[in-house]
Amino acid sequence: MLVNALPMGLKMSIAAGIGLFLALISLKGAGIIVANPATLVGLGDIHQPSALLALFGFVMVVVLGYFRVQGAIIITILTITVIASLMGLNEFHGVVGEVPGIAPTFMQMDFKGLFTVSMVSVIFVFFLVDLFDSTGTLVGVSHRAGLLVDGKLPRLKRALLADSTAIVAGAALGTSSTTPYVESAAGVSAGGRTGLTAVTVGVLMLACLMFSPLAKSVPVFATAPALLYVGTQMLRSARDIDWDDMTEAAPAFLTIVFMPFTYSIADGIAFGFISYAVVKLLCRRTGDVPPMVWVVAVLWALKFWYLG
């Protein structure tokens, strides 16, 4: 209900914002963008082999993608990894490792601290962040996959049920709160469209518990080109925003830029909701705002005002 009630401009801005977010993550991982005390961020040392390999990898995946080479992303990652190994830029950690036990964290829950006033605010924040991280990723990735029908996501309830089940299971196992990875867009770009893709990835993730040393041998700058490539594809969603209508363009713009600048999908969506409601109200176009948008905008405003 919440996701399907979103105005089209906000939906497209969420997808585009995730694209910019992926770009920032990839550039940071490759060392091309670094922290700068004077300007917040700055250009890293592009003479470093890791940065050069990341840039080479981006050009490679773009060219392979242009010629519709199947597996362009994985080919690029493997190529950069092999080159890095030959240059001695990454360490080979082996193939098979020991699977860690779950006994230290399994079902280790503190129910005593649950029934306190301070915990209410914590649960509220976790709920909002988890909900909008998940829905934002679902909308962005689904749009990239072409799965939206008239701007709505079919079978959304099943997707959110799977996500909520994973959150509960993850908590029981002692992990941090689970949420759909925005990097899932890479799988969509590679051609994944059905539930079989998710099942395959899940099985391979389980296998990575045993082969974690091999996965660890892949350097970050080898995966950075893939994320940057996916980011460029997702940014195309911005063309579907009505930039001639400032009551649509301004909230969409805030949604897009706040995601990378706050390093949070949820915060980007929050400022998009709030600005959309406020701008429409002041421009006397409240009829454009679905009731659910008003509710969510108020909740986020209260969260920022009282909890930061």
- Alpha-carbon distance 261 to 182, whole Å? 16
Percent of the chain whose pLDDT exceeds 90: 21
- Alpha-carbon distance 216 to 97, whole Å? 11
Relative orientation angle of helices 8-29 and 265-282, to the nearest 10 degrees: 150
pLDDT score of 217: 82
- Structural tokens at position 205: 């993730």
Per the prediction, the chain carries an average pLDDT of: 82
CA contacts within 13 A on the Cβ side of 287: 1
The answer, yes or no, to whether residue 66 has pLDDT greater than 80, is yes
pLDDT score of 183: 65
The answer, yes or no, to whether residue 118 has pLDDT greater than 70, is no
Q: What amino acid occupies position 43? A: L
Do residues 249 and 116 make contact, with C-beta atoms less than 8 angstroms apart?
A: no
Which residues neighbour 73 within 8 Å (Cβ) at sequence distance 6 or greater? 61, 186, 189, 190, 226, 229, 230
- Alpha-carbon distance 27 to 21, whole Å? 10
Averaged pLDDT for residues 270-294:
90
pLDDT score of 253: 94
Question: What does the domain layout of the chain look like in residue ranges?
Answer: 8-307
- Alpha-carbon distance 253 to 276, whole Å? 11
Neighbours of 196 (CB within 10 A): 9
Neighbours of 183 (CB within 10 A): 17
Confidence of residue 224 (pLDDT cuts 50, 70, 90): very high
